[in-house]
A and B are shown apart, each in its own frame.
Chain A
Amino acid sequence: MLAYVIRRVFQSIIVLLVVGLVAFSMFRFVGDPIDNMLGQERTDADIDRLRTQLGLDQPFPVQYVKFLKGAAEGNFGVSFRQGRPVATIIAERLPATLELAAVSGLLAIVLGVALGVLTAIYRDGIASNIVMTLSLIGVSLPTFLIGILLIYLFSVELNWLPSFGRGDVVQVGFWSTGFLTASGLKALILPSITLGLYQMTLIMRLVRSEMLEVLRQEYIRFARARGLRDKSVHFRHALKNTLVPVITVTGLQLGAIIAFAIITETVFQWPGVGLLFINAIQFVDIPVMAAYLMLISVMFVGINLIVDLLYYAIDPRLHSDKSAKAH
C-alpha cells in the first residue's frame, strides 16, 4: 500500500513539474516579457535594469525554479490585458466556477445514479426506454448546443430564466456566492443543467450497465431465494457492489466538469475562470493562460490521485501488490 501511494504521489509531482515547465516556457518564450512591460519610450538602460530586476539574465533552470516558487505562492505576475495581478483576478472568479461545478456535479451524481438504478431495475419499461434514447441524444449533442437550446426554450420563448450572468451575488468574506439570492439561484439553473447533462448521462449509463451485470450474479439470486424484499436486494446488495467503478468514473468526471465549464461559462457569460481563460486565449494574455494551466493541472492531478487512492482503498482485490502493478 505505502509503496503504491508513494509511487502515485511521485508520478503526480513529476506531471506537475512538466506542466509547470510548459507554463514557464509560455511565459519566457511567447513574446518578450520586457516588451510587454515597458512602453514605447524606453532606453537600453531601462531594459537592462528590468531584465536584472526580473531575473531574466539568469540561467534557464534558475529562472524555472524561481517561477515554480512563485507559482506555489500563487504569484503568476500581472495580466497583460487587465494590468492587475493574475492571482487576484483568479481569486475573484474562482467562486463562480466552483459553485457552478458543484451544483452540476451534484445534479449529475444524484440524477445519474437514480436514473441508472431505475432504468436497470425496470429495464423493459417504456419510461426506461425513453430515458435511454434521450441519453443517447444527450451524449451526441455538443455541450454548447444544449446551452443554446436551453436558452432558446427558457429565456427567449418562455422568459422564465435569465440567459446570462450570475444574477445578484452576496459577498461572504473573499467568497462571492450566488446561493443566497433568488436571482442568483435562478441564474444557476440553466448553466448547471448544461454542464451536468453529459456527465449525468455518462454516470447513468455506467450505473445501469453495472447494475444489470450485478443483478445477474449468483449472490443476488441467493438473496432473492432467501426471501429478501426487492428494495433490500436492489439497494443494499446490488447498488453497493456497483459503486467501485462508479466512484472512479465520477471522480474523474469532476475534473472534466471543471474543464467543460469553459464552454458553459462562455455560452452563459458566466463570470468564472473558464470564461477568463477563453478571453485570455483570444487576447494571448500569457500570464492568465499560464496560471489557469497550472490551476487546472493541480486540480486534475489532485483529483486523479485521490480517485486512484480511493479506488485502491475501496476495492480489497487490489491490495495484493501483483494486481496493483497490472494497473
Chain B
Amino acid sequence: MIDSLQRAWRSDFLWSFSRSPVAVVSFLVVLVMVLGAVLAPWIAPHNPFDPATLNLMNGFSSPMEPNAFTGDVFWLGTDDQGRDVFSTILYGMRISLFVGFTAVLFAMVLGISLGLLAGYVGGWVETIIMRVADVQLTFPAILVAMLIFGIAKGFTPVHLRDQMAIWVLIIAIGLSDWVQFARVVRGATLVEKNKEYIQAAKLNGRKPLGIMSLHILPNVLSPVLVIATISLALAIISEATLSFLGVGAPPTQPSLGTLIRIGQGYLFSGEWWILFYPAVTLLVLALSVNLLGDWLRDALNPKLR
C-alpha cells in the first residue's frame, strides 16, 4: 500500500495538480477550513459554549458595527444570545467536518470490506450483499439516513440522546453511503482476482484474508479515493440537511446545519447574518470538496488523459 502511494506521488499526480487552478484553489480552501475547524479553540475570538464569556447585551450585533450597548465589534455579528457568529461557525465546522469525515470513513471501511468479500468469495455471500445494496440504492441516501437516525434514536436511552446524537448521525450517514464503495470494490475485485499475481499468491499458500487485504485492496484503492472525496461532500450536505431538519446535531453541539436552522428563525426580523454566514460557509465547503473530487476523478483516470 505504501508502495502504491509512493508510486502515485512520484507520477504526474502532483504535476497535474499544480496545473489545475481549480484544484489548487479548492484544496487551499478546504485546507484553511479544516485548519480553522481543528484549531477553533485557539483561534476563535470567543468560546461560544462557555456562558462565562458571553454577554447577553451583545445579542444581535450587526457585522462590523460596534454594539449599541457594549461597543464591542464582531466581524460577522452575534446571534440572539450574544454568541459571536464567526466563533460559532468555526465550532460548527468542527462538528460538520468531524461527522463528515468519520461517516465517510465508516462507510468506506464497511463498503470496502463487504465489496472485497462479495467479489472474492462470491456465491451466496455475494448474492446477499449485492441484493441488499441494490435495494438500498433504490431509496435516496438522505431518506435512509433519516430512518436509521430515527430508529437509532429510539434505541438510545432518553438521557443519553443529546450526547449520542453525533455518533448516531455518523452511523446513519455512514450506513446510507456504503453501497457506492461496495459496488466499485466488488467490480474491481472481480477483475483483479483472476489475474496471475493472485494465482501466484494463492499457490504460495496465502490465506484469503491476506490476499484480499494485501494484494487486492491496494489495487482497487484509486476509485475508492475518488468516491470517498465525492462522498465527503455529500456527507457534509447530508449532515447539514439532517441537522437543519432538527434530526441531527443537537443545539448543544451545533453543526453548520444547526446554525442555519437557528438562523432561519431570525430571517424575518432582519438579522440576516445569523443565517447567511453559516450558509455561505457550508456552500463554499461543499463546493470545494466537490470540485476537488471532480479533479481527482479526472486525474486518477488514465483513460481521460
Contact = CB atoms under 8 A, between A and B. Distances in A.
Interface string A279-299: 011101010010001001100
How many residues of A sit at the interface, in one of the four size bands? 35 or more
B44 to A, nearest CB: 24
A284 B279 contact: no
B139 A262 contact: no
Given A142-B282, A262-B143, A278 B244 contact: no
A185 to B, nearest CB: 23
B241 A143 contact: yes
A260 B153 contact: no
Interface of chain B, main secondary structure = helix
B25 interface: no
Contact of B267 (A26, A156, A281): A156
B298 to A, nearest CB: 16
Interface stretch (A69-77, A144-152, A234-242): A144-152
A256 B140 CA distance: 6
Interface string A21-50: 010001000110000000000000000000
A144 B150 contact: no
How many residues of B sit at the interface, in one of the four size bands? 20 to 34
Contacts of A255: 138, 140
B140 A259 contact: yes
A252 B139 CA distance: 10
B237 A142 contact: yes
A142 B240 contact: yes
A260 B149 CA distance: 16
A148 B272 CA distance: 11
B21 interface: no
A31 B286 CA distance: 37
A263 B154 contact: no
A281 B153 contact: yes
B279 A260 contact: no
A163 B247 CA distance: 22
Interface in A262-277: 262-263, 266-267, 277
Given A144-B244, A144-B260, A260 B140 contact: yes
Interface of B: 135, 138-140, 142-143, 146-147, 149-151, 153-155, 237, 240-241, 244-247, 260, 264, 267-268, 272, 275, 279, 282-283, 286-287, 290
25 contacts: A15-B138, A22-B151, A26-B151, A30-B151, A30-B155, A140-B290, A142-B241, A142-B282, A255-B138, A255-B140, A259-B140, A262-B143, A262-B146, A262-B245, A263-B245, A278-B146, A282-B246, A284-B150, A284-B153, A284-B154, A286-B154, A289-B150, A300-B139, A301-B138, A304-B138
Q: Which 10 A-B pairs have the closest CB atoms?
A: A30-B154, A281-B150, A259-B143, A281-B247, A259-B140, A284-B154, A142-B237, A144-B244, A266-B245, A289-B150
